[in-house]
Structure 1
Amino acid sequence: MDRFDAMRVFTRIVELGSFTKAADDLHIPRATVTHTIKQMEARLGVRLLQRTTRQVSATLDGNAYYARCVQLMADLEETESAFSAAASNPRGKVRVDLQGSLAMHFILPQLPEFCARYPQIELEIGMGDRAVDLVREGYDCVLRAGEPRDSSLVIRRVARLQQVTVASPAYLEQHGTPDSLASFAQHRAVNFFSSVSGKILPFDFLVDGTEHSVSLPGQVAVSHAEAYVSCCEGGLGLVQLPRYHVQQQLAEGRLVEVMAAFRPAPMAVSVLYPHQRQLSRRVRVLVDWMADLMRQGEHAA
């Protein structure tokens, strides 16, 4: 095994915290992983990894060596791609995790176009809204809505999507149309709770430049966007969400926007990727393509 392949083995052990997981990820025998690290430590004359019965972690020297390995491998890939056909025809696997509703509405419908443009890129797509450990789980990037909380990641803002508050005509006929924070507080909601924290999310409004959060009672709470819209259409209460979710329902009159004068701030959409990883050409073209799609969606909403 050459030195760059050995570096790749070492970095995956550090990222995954396990010899076995690194072997599975790289599709090589565990014995090869163990032998590679023994040779590497002998050649360098330092101990790179600390082993316990439950986990493997880097020593101080190992952490320093890991940072250099990541940079060297990124530099090598970037250099080779600049002087090969990969510069115009990037190839290889990209692992990306997409927020579910953004994927279904913006990304997946246009995916055939990306695959036709870059036939040698293999995509492995996860979908959800959980906090992904990009380095440990081996993801190249993620697409997320809302304000990111992980300061260890590079954050590329790709869109700001208009948010609206809506109700069904039947609900408004029965309960009236709110036109102020005071009247809004008298209504009922289909509440939305975070699948990560379990917390009910409040309604947000901008009044004279000041943000206000209002919580409403409701008989039903959901954690899925399609269920949220469906319950609202059924007359169970008010909901607040990005406009693209209900664009068709608004156009057809199945839902009606309320509190339009006090819309909340637009929802941020971002692509996130690790600081220590220079983006390869194949990852960069995917990130640029997703950013372009989201910008189009921002203007269309």
Structure 2
Amino acid sequence: MVSLDRFDTFKAVVEAGSLTAAADLLGQTRAVVSFNIKRLEAELGVTLLTRNTRRLALTEAGERFYLHCVNMLEAARLAIDQARSDHTELKGTLRITTTVEYALAKVVPALELFRALHPDLNVHLSTSSTHADLISERFDVALRLGRVLDSSHRAVQLSTFEILPVASPAFVARVPSVNSVQTLEQAPWLEHGRVGELSITEVSSGTVRPWQPNPAKAGIKADNSSVLRAFALTGQGVAILPDWLIEDDLQAGRLIHLLPGWQFTRQGVYALYPDTRHLPLKVRVFIDFMKAHA
């Protein structure tokens, strides 16, 4: 009988694109991965992959087998999850990816409680300013902020948060008064490379207008909110930052909330997971938990 472990190895090779990348994902040596692929082909009696010095390619048989392989692995994992569903403890490994600042502010404290409830579940948390590929990098769930643009995955909204225009007291003291949206748009500002178009709403009247900062005033651009916060603290411009990231800075007076009578478009926190037929129990339980802690 063909081992499901070899199915998993084959799936990893196809999705990673090479034996070496698959070995890294699986935590195995390249030789072990290559051996398992050869054994799988021998047991099936067909060639699944063609190999040369540069790349791997699926044969027609390999393409058909890959689709069946994915379905069978999903069914096997679902059977395991259902067998464990009568117990409160989860097992295995949950692989999560998110940004470093959100991990530090929200995910790490939440995981302390989550792992106390499920001590037999291992958690691998990866942080990056870029969006990981859930399929090729074998993540179970991604926690992403802002707007969800990737339609190839399922998404569940966990919560929303405000983003606030802030600057240091030293910056506010040396620039012309920021007392309107127009003056805010003309102020030197710190741009987040991953924030898209925004609108801004006057709280008292409900008036909505697009946010149109002067591109010439964007002296610094970064892809990380923590880095922009650091620039703002040193007085280098206005940054638009998540409320959960700068709460302590506002209370301590290290940063000042500019134009509190106006609000930017609220941002969402989303859990993304691969669009599979069955949602693994560990992912469903984690998502439900994060709805209460995001």
Counterpart contact for 2:169–2:254, Cα < 8 Å: yes
Post-superposition shift, 1:90? 1.3
Counterpart contact for 2:95–2:139, Cα < 8 Å: yes
Partner of 2:147: 147
Partner of 1:262: 262
CA distance in structure 2 between the partners assigned to 1:93 and 1:86 by the alignment: 19
> Residues 250, 280 of structure 1: CA spacing in aligned structure 2 closer, same or farther, 3 A cutoff?
same
User: Which is worse superposed, 102-111 or 83-92?
Assistant: 83-92
Post-superposition shift, 1:30? 3.7
Post-superposition shift, 1:47? 4.3
Post-superposition shift, 1:164? 0.9
The list of structure 1 runs, each at least 4 consecutive aligned residues, that deviate by more than 6 angstroms after superposition, is 200-203
CA distance in structure 1 between the partners assigned to 2:168 and 2:260 by the alignment: 15
Post-superposition shift, 1:203? 7.4
Partner of 2:280: 280
Partner of 2:36: 33
2:200 pairs with 1:205: yes
Partner of 1:120: 120
Which letter maps to 2:28?
H
Which letter maps to 1:172?
V
CA distance in structure 1 between the partners assigned to 2:147 and 2:239 by the alignment: 20
Post-superposition shift, 1:102? 0.7
Which letter maps to 1:158?
L
What TM-score do the two structures reach when normalised by structure 2? 0.84
CA distance in structure 2 between the partners assigned to 1:291 and 1:15 by the alignment: 30
Counterpart contact for 2:129–2:224, Cα < 8 Å: no
Deviation digits for residues 44-63 of structure 1 (CA, Å, limit 9, x no counterpart) = xx543333322223334433
> Residues 202, 275 of structure 1: CA spacing in aligned structure 2 closer, same or farther, 3 A cutoff?
closer
* SS of equivalent residue, structure 1 residue 160: strand
CA distance in structure 1 between the partners assigned to 2:274 and 2:199 by the alignment: 31
Counterpart contact for 2:99–2:127, Cα < 8 Å: yes
Structure 1 gap segments, 5+ residues each: 295-301
Counterpart contact for 1:48–1:58, Cα < 8 Å: yes
User: Which is worse superposed, 225-234 or 157-166?
Assistant: 225-234
Partner of 1:297: none
> Residues 78, 37 of structure 1: CA spacing in aligned structure 2 closer, same or farther, 3 A cutoff?
same
Deviation digits for residues 8-64 of structure 1 (CA, Å, limit 9, x no counterpart) = 22211211222344355263724532332322541xxx5433333222233344333
Which letter maps to 1:124?
H
Deviation digits for residues 59-101 of structure 1 (CA, Å, limit 9, x no counterpart) = 3443333223222222222223323477432101122112111
> Residues 37, 215 of structure 1: CA spacing in aligned structure 2 closer, same or farther, 3 A cutoff?
farther
> Residues 253, 63 of structure 1: CA spacing in aligned structure 2 closer, same or farther, 3 A cutoff?
same
* SS of equivalent residue, structure 2 residue 293: helix
CA distance in structure 1 between the partners assigned to 2:287 and 2:278 by the alignment: 13
Counterpart contact for 2:9–2:37, Cα < 8 Å: no
CA distance in structure 2 between the partners assigned to 1:159 and 1:60 by the alignment: 44
What TM-score do the two structures reach when normalised by structure 1? 0.82
Counting matched residue pairs gives 286
